[in-house]
């Protein structure tokens, strides 16, 4: 990988580092849960809690986005409760209630990077937290992405866009830069897909 590219990435990771996390006595607004009594076919009855995020199930789309110049669009963003406090990852976001997954993925790509995708392929889906959640995340490969507007984030959303080649993504992966299930499984599925073609 080009040294200046890696230095660029490392400077973003440094810039977004967490200095302090101060616990506030404020009621949570995003995370909640509901309790259900579950009846199984075999007769067992028990209680289980369901995790909700903003009253939704928290299903998300994660996108491996290739631009027309064969670059991959990546995010450097605060992941404030991880050990590192900041993570390299892929464009991603929650699917809105009733929203089609691909539509949601395209929306997130546009919001986070200002890019419009050409063809999109759903590579895989997986439950994020099967014990207590319905969240089913979709892993997309997006081809021929091109910039149509600028980044347009929600208030309090901070994302440093970072671009590199496909081979550099694999290199960063081998170096351990990607640390989430979302990113790691997406990379595996993209590798398999590219190999099969």
Give the interface with its own copies as residue ranges (CB under 8 A): 14-42, 44, 46-51, 53, 57, 78-83, 87, 89, 124-134, 136-137, 156, 158, 179-182, 184-185, 188
Which DSSP category does 162 fall into? Answer: E
Q: At what angle do helices 166-174 and 181-196 cross, to 10 degrees?
A: 130
Q: Which is nearer to its own copies, 7 or 156 (CB)?
A: 156
Return d(Cα 48, Cα 107) in angstroms, integer.
Answer: 33
Q: Which is nearer to its own copies, 7 or 37 (CB)?
A: 37
Query: In this structure, is the dihedral angle defined by the CA atoms of residues 121, 116, 30 and 36, taken in order, positive or negative?
Result: negative
127: Cβ–Cβ under 8 A, 6 or more apart, which residues? 133, 134, 135, 136, 137
Longest distance between any two alpha carbons in the chain, whole Å: 62
Return d(Cα 63, Cα 104) in angstroms, integer.
Answer: 11
**Nearest-approach distance from CB 144 to its own copies, in angstroms:** 27
**Nearest-approach distance from CB 160 to its own copies, in angstroms:** 10
Q: Which is nearer to its own copies, 67 or 109 (CB)?
A: 109
**Nearest-approach distance from CB 148 to its own copies, in angstroms:** 26
Task: Please tell me the total number of residues recorded for the chain in this structure.
Answer: 197
Q: Which is nearer to its own copies, 19 or 70 (CB)?
A: 19
**Nearest-approach distance from CB 28 to its own copies, in angstroms:** 4
**Nearest-approach distance from CB 123 to its own copies, in angstroms:** 11
Q: Which is nearer to its own copies, 59 or 67 (CB)?
A: 59
């Amino acid at each position: 990988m080009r040294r200046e590219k890696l230095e660029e990435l490392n400077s973003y990771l440094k810039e977004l580092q967490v200095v302090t996390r101060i616990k506030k006595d404020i009621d949570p607004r995003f995370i909640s849960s509901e309790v259900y009594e579950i009846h199984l076919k075999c007769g067992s009855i028990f209680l289980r809690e369901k995790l909700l995020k903003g009253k939704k199930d928290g299903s998300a789309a994660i996108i491996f986005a290739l631009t027309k110049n064969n670059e991959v669009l990546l995010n450097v963003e605060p992941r404030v409760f991880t050990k590192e406090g900041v993570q390299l990852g892929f464009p991603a976001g929650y699917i809105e209630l009733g929203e089609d997954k691909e539509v949601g993925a395209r929306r997130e790509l546009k919001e986070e990077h200002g890019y419009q995708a050409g063809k999109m392929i759903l590579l895989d889906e997986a439950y994020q937290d099967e014990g207590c959640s319905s969240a089913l995340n979709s892993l997309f490969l997006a081809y021929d992405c091109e910039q149509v507007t600028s980044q347009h984030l929600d208030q309090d959303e901070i994302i440093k866009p970072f671009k590199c080649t496909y081979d550099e993504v694999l290199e960063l992966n081998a170096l351990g830069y990607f640390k989430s299930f979302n990113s790691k499984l997406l990379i595996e599925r993209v590798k398999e897909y590219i190999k099969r073609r």
